[in-house]
Structure 1
Amino acid sequence: MKIIHTADWQLGKPFGRFAPNVRAALTEARLDAIDQIGKVAIADGAGHVLVAGDVFDNVDPGDRIVMQAMSRMERAPVTWWLMPGNHDHARAGGLWSRARARAPSNVRIVDTPEPVEMAENAWLLPAPLEHRTTVADPTSAMVNMITPPGALRIGLAHGSITEFGATGESSNLIPPDRARSAGLDYLALGDWHGFLTVGDRTAYSGTPEVDRFGREEAGACISASVRSGDAPVLQRTETGRYRWLSRQWDLENTGDLERETAALRAEARLSDVLLSLRLSGVVSLSDRVAMTSAIEDRLAHELRHLDLDAQGLSARPTPEDIARIDVQGALASATDSLRVRAEAGGPDAELAGAALERLYVEAMRLDAEMAR
């Protein structure tokens, strides 16, 4: 049997720290990932998509998000199996009751821990979460779930494998040998947002659309070929649009910046990149101004979003830098004092360097205006 395993859609995630246009793009991308998953299922000949929890980011995502999700799933000629996770846990009269009332015929909600026949000779053993956190193992009931002899047993759960360094007081813990102890042919897990296999019959699919820095790969789902008695054959298939990249560039001159920027452009389409960028190095004052200007005035606008930390890029003014400021009198004395403090490396060196850079920028701006 071929299935698609996915999890952690977290539809309706607010992305509150971003600008409104970025928030809107990221929100729509999570919905668009449903379409991509449907395409993967059709291409692979998989008739069932299993969502291992956290379909929604919270228990009240709003009617638009719920209806958008249902309408997109309805378009794909596959059966979607949705299970509550810790973000969207099941509760009487809550989200899942409303979702069930709006669900098309090809969407099945499994919010009780009971085996369900997916297809002939294939059974789904779900472990839905009824609370955001629980100290009990959500998969323990799978051991006693009875299915016909020889039938495929596919577990669906949301939580952390105990070997991840979790303590006994952590929540939603799943033993790493659950597939073996419950006689599962495959255990499809959610909660970990990256692709990860645990033994030969258990895996985390990761999220289909990455939502944080620290995960360089694009979002994905798992295409699984499951056969009774054999280890499943798993294939990771990318579904995500946006890349969340973290980079540190150690720069000595503007040529270094040009090479790093060219490498970034070759790696991904910049309009689909959210970049956390830290700069380091010691450069001339003119180079630092040129570099930060190139990043803030061009690269930042090419990217979907930029988090820039340029504090580690220090300016060491050259005689040519000071000469270009071209000031006299008290301002010249102040310029020289700032240069000395910046080069001394004392407690106020960073502030002096920033002030000198500001003076340099204003001098260049004034020169440009006078040249018009």
Structure 2
Amino acid sequence: MPLFLHTADWQIGRQYSQFAPDDAVPIAEARIDAVSTLARLAAEQRVDAVLVAGDVFDAQTVADRTIRRLFNAMAGFAGPWILIPGNHDAALAESVWTRAQRLNAVPSHVHLSLQPQTLEFEAAGFAVLTAPLTQRHTYNDLTERFDRAETPAGLLRIGMAHGAVQGILAADIDSANPIAPERAERARLDYLALGDWHGCKQIDARTWYSGTPETDRFRANDPGFALRVQIDGPGALPEVTSLAVGRYRWSQAVHTLAVASDADALIARLATLDEADVVQIALDGQTDLQSLARIQAAASQAEARARSLAVDFGALRLLPTDADIQALNADGYLGDVIATLRDRQAGPEPQLATQALALLAALLADRRAAGAAPVSVGATA
């Protein structure tokens, strides 16, 4: 009754330049931590092997230290790890894999399949047919050889590949490497472990993408898991269970403000964020200055709790109420400036007018809080 842990798309060494450095570094570090978690889960589950279906590294140029750290993170599981290259870390003549071997960084229980082959684990009752990528993009189906590959009778036939199942996944995904959707059936596979799609996805009863174990982009496609795969014997359907691995929750949303309750809902959402959240929120619609101040205060507090929070106010139109302007003590000239900026929000540069209006409101609010005299006609700024 062999038992496997299926994972892929670790993307070790990935950089996150879209974030500030104090956010980017922990987010990148979480990818190596995910491998340590996988090792712990593999040991706890007592699996017979961990199947890593490509894109172990994000690039061929990762540092030697990163290579060593990756293999050190795998130390928590002493059983077989079976790794194939993907499109990001293809097994070129000179690659991240050849460097790892020169560094003597690869432990003896880690099996690197850098060429198509069949690995037999007779004592454990299974054989693994691999289709590693030896270049970044291929346009023929490397899993076709599985149909003809022979394995000893009585052993499970497990396939491993990295690419796009044709007719199933979106046309704009990361890899051009095609895989026939009926490959498991045609090749008499008991299970086909795939990588390249970064979310957990079932293709058929025997074919699965595990997805990346640590979320790495704003796409709601079920990342952050590994798959526990149990197969009772040759021909039996696999029993597949997803296991949570990832640390960070990525989410992206557009929040439209129209009435006061919309601001309340946004503030309530911000209040739920914690250290596991990586969030981008774009605001549009319109709001008054009092509501804007409440949202800005809530965002500032949430930013200190979340791993990363970015709130884009650029498309939000400010419509100060009479009460807002009265509260700012802005009459005369500055009152006219506020009115002009309100009008210009409907012009060719609405974001510039909105930013100016928000800045002026903040300055006037600070002036009022400091106890300065009201600004009126004839006053200088």
TM-score normalised per structure 2: 0.89
**Contact residue 144 and residue 182 of structure 1 kept, 8 A:** yes
| 1:139 aligned counterpart, secondary structure | helix
Structure 1 position 212, deviation (Å): 0.4
Higher helix share: 1
Q: 1:257/1:38 Cα in 2 relative to 1: closer, same or farther (>3 Å)?
A: farther
Deviation at 1:90, TM superposition (A): 0.2
156, 168, 180: which one aligns with 1:152: 156
Of residues 346-355 and 104-113 in structure 1, the stretch that sits farther from structure 2 once superposed is 346-355
Aligned to 1:134: 138
Q: Deviations over 1:151-202 (max 9, x none)?
A: 21100000000113549xx821000011111111100000000011111110
Instruction: Evaluate the alpha carbon distance shift between residue 57 and residue 350 of structure 1 in structure 2; reply closer, same or farther with a 3 A threshold.
Output: closer
Q: Distance in 1 between matches of 2:297 and 2:271?
A: 18
| In structure 2, distance between residues paired with 1:316 and 1:329 | 18
**What is the deviation of 1:264?**
5.6
1:176 to 174, 178, 181: 181
The alignment status of 1:185 with 2:190, answered yes or no, reads yes
Alpha-carbon shift at residue 21 of structure 1 (Å):
1.7
In structure 1, distance between residues paired with 2:92 and 2:343 = 66
Corresponding residue of 1:239: 245
Q: Indicate how the Cα distance of structure 1 residues 334 and 72 shifts in structure 2: closer, same or farther if over 3 A, else same.
A: closer
Alignment of 1:78-227 (within 5 A): 78-100=79-101, 101-120=104-123, 121-163=125-167, 164=169, 166=171, 171-215=176-220, 217=222, 219-226=224-231, 227=233
For normalisation by structure 1, the TM-score amounts to 0.91
Match of 2:75 in 1: 74
Q: 1:328: Cα distance to partner?
A: 4.7
Task: Using the TM superposition, name which of 154-163 and 104-113 deviates more.
Answer: 104-113
Q: Which runs of 5+ in 2 are unaligned?
A: 373-381
What secondary structure sits across from 1:270 in the alignment? coil
Give the letter aligned to residue 98 of structure 1.
R
Residue in 2 aligned with 1:16?
Answer: 17
Cα distance change of structure 1 residues 270 and 165 upon mapping to structure 2, 3 Å threshold: closer
Q: CA deviation at 1:89?
A: 0.3
Show the counterpart of 2:320. 317
Listed as ranges, the gaps of 5+ residues in structure 1 are none
The CA distance in 1 between the partners of 2:271 and 2:353, in whole Å, is 34
What do the CA deviations read for 1:300-353 (whole angstroms, capped 9, x no partner)? 2221112322234322211111222323543343333334545xx344555444
Pairs within 5 Å for 1:289-328: 289-295=293-299, 297-328=300-331
CA drift at 1:366: 0.9
CA deviation string 1:222-271 (max 9, x = no partner): 000123101111001110001111123333566644444444655xx621
Separation (CA, whole Å) in 2 of partners of 1:197 and 1:247? 26
- Residue 294 of structure 2 aligns with an amino acid whose one-letter code is A
CA displacement at 1:66 relative to structure 2: 0.8
**Aligned counterpart, 1:336:** 339
Could you tell me how far apart the structure 2 residues matched to 1:107 and 1:28 are? 22
Residue matched to 2:291? 287
Per-residue CA distance 1:98-130 (angstroms, 9 max, x = gap): 323311122111111110113423101000000
User: Which one is further off, 19-28 or 255-264?
Assistant: 255-264
Q: Deviations over 1:265-319 (max 9, x none)?
A: 55xx621111011223322222223312431x21222211123222343222111
Corresponding letter in the other structure for 1:212: R
CA distance in structure 2 between the aligned counterparts of 1:324 and 1:261, rounded to whole angstroms = 22
- Aligned counterparts of 1:35 and 1:351: Cα–Cα separation in 2: 47
8 Å contact kept, 2:325–2:335:
no
Distance in 1, Cα, partners of 2:11 & 2:185: 29
